[in-house]
Amino acid sequence: MMSKCRKGGLARWLFLLLTLVGLLFVLVAWNFGIPSRIPCFINPLIEQVTGETPEAKVVAYLEATRQGDEARRQAVIETISALGADLSFRVLDVEWWSNCCEPCVIDDPRRAGFARLRVAVGGATGDEIIYVFDVWVTGGPYYGEMMGCPVRHWEIIDAYPEGEEPLYWKWPREWEW
């Protein structure tokens, strides 16, 4: 009976020792900034898997339109809805924006808090209309690495034919002199 108590006691001490060593490792790594860099590589993968990307939001928007659901801009919806089951679309390009501090176009999508997607939408006739979809991260400006690259949740805020002015995100147009 004594040996069982000693083994249990030894196991507890070993567990406590390993826990303390693990905590020490975490504190040292945290001091050198290692954990703050890890999410910047992992979180984009999480966003892809969970469908939290600007492209996924545009696809969901267009799929909902194909099925006749309501959306934000009635004129766009009516035009796209008229295509019905013949609706086809493809993302032509994505313009990534930083939306913290002073918004600007950036090259790294991992730092983006706003995206402007040009999408060709067509139907059975083969004719295509280019629409612009403005998509941003919910919850305000996205600070990226400054906040540890949290997982983003994207929302379509505007959709309009190419060449028209956006209703919401007018940067930098509204600041031009």
| Residues 123/86, Cβ–Cβ less than 8 Å | yes
**What does the block give as tokens for 13?**
């001490």
Give 24-72 pLDDT, tens digit per residue: 666 555 555 555 555 666 777 778 777 788 888 888 777 766 655 455 5
Every domain of the chain and the residues it spans: 1-32, 39-175
Give 133-152 pLDDT, tens digit per residue: 999 999 888 888 888 888 89
Helix/strand/coil percent split, the chain, to 5? 45, 25, 30
Q: 177 falls in which pLDDT band (50, 70, 90)?
A: very low
Rounded CA-CA distance 61/32 in Å is 42
| Residues 100/138, Cβ–Cβ less than 8 Å | no
Most confident range, picked from 25-39, 102-116, 154-168: 102-116
> What is the pTM for the complete model shown?
0.60
Residue (of 134, 97, 91) closest to 112 by Cα position: 97
